[in-house]
Amino acid sequence: MKHARYLLLGAYFGLVLTKSEVVTWHKIRAMFYFREPDLYLIIASAIVVGMLCVWLIRRLHPRTPFGERIEIQPTPMHKGVFYGGFLFGLGWFITGTCPGPIYAQLGGGEMFALFTLLGAMLGTYAFAWLQPRLPD
């Protein structure tokens, strides 16, 4: 049960991602070509609700149903957010997919997303190999 909850939480996330169509190539293109504002509005409203959630949890410090303390981790500063972030942006445009939607596409029956996932794993392997030589 302790792990089954992540399957359920993921299912919630996947269902909402697919119903919002942010997992489709044409929505991502429409965003980058400024054809429709939908995706910008979705991202902005998601962040506002996320901020509210984090604020409430910080204020009320509830525990999980399993009695665990809820830890909100800080993000350390490093150069990779610039370099890696830029490279990811290029890939985001080309595939019309970010990491969450890869799994959503696969679950939704889009088998060509296997190529995206395979590419991402090769990219991860290349990163693992080059990491000692890259700026942090």
Partner 1 sequence: MNFLLNPWPWWVSGPLIGLTVGLLLLFGSRNLGVSSSFRHLCALALPKSRLPYLAQDKVREQSWNLFFVAGIALGSFLAVRFLSSHPVQFLPPQYHSVSGAVKLLCGGFLVGFGTRWARGCTSGHAMMGLSNFQKPSLYAVISFFAGGLCAAAIAKLLSGGTL
The residues in 1-40 that bind partner 1, with binding defined as CB under 8 A, are 3-26, 32-33, 38-39
3-state DSSP assignment of residue 12 = helix
Written as six digits, the tokens of 134 are 């890259």
Least Å distance between CB 131 and partner 1?
5
Residue 74 near partner 1 by CB under 8 A: yes
Q: Report, in Å, the least distance between residue 59 CB and partner 1.
A: 12
Taking the complex as a whole, the smallest distance from the CB of residue 129 to partner 1 amounts, in Å, to: 6
State phi, psi for 63 to the nearest 5 degrees.
-110, 165
Extract the tokens encoding 114: 């296997």
Give just the sign of the alpha carbon dihedral 100, 101, 106, 112: negative
Q: Which positions from 53 to 72 touch partner 1 by CB under 8 A, shown as an x/- string?
A: xx-xx----x-xx--xxxxx
11 DSSP assignment: H
Site for partner 1 in 91-130 (CB under 8 A): 91-110, 112-113, 115-129
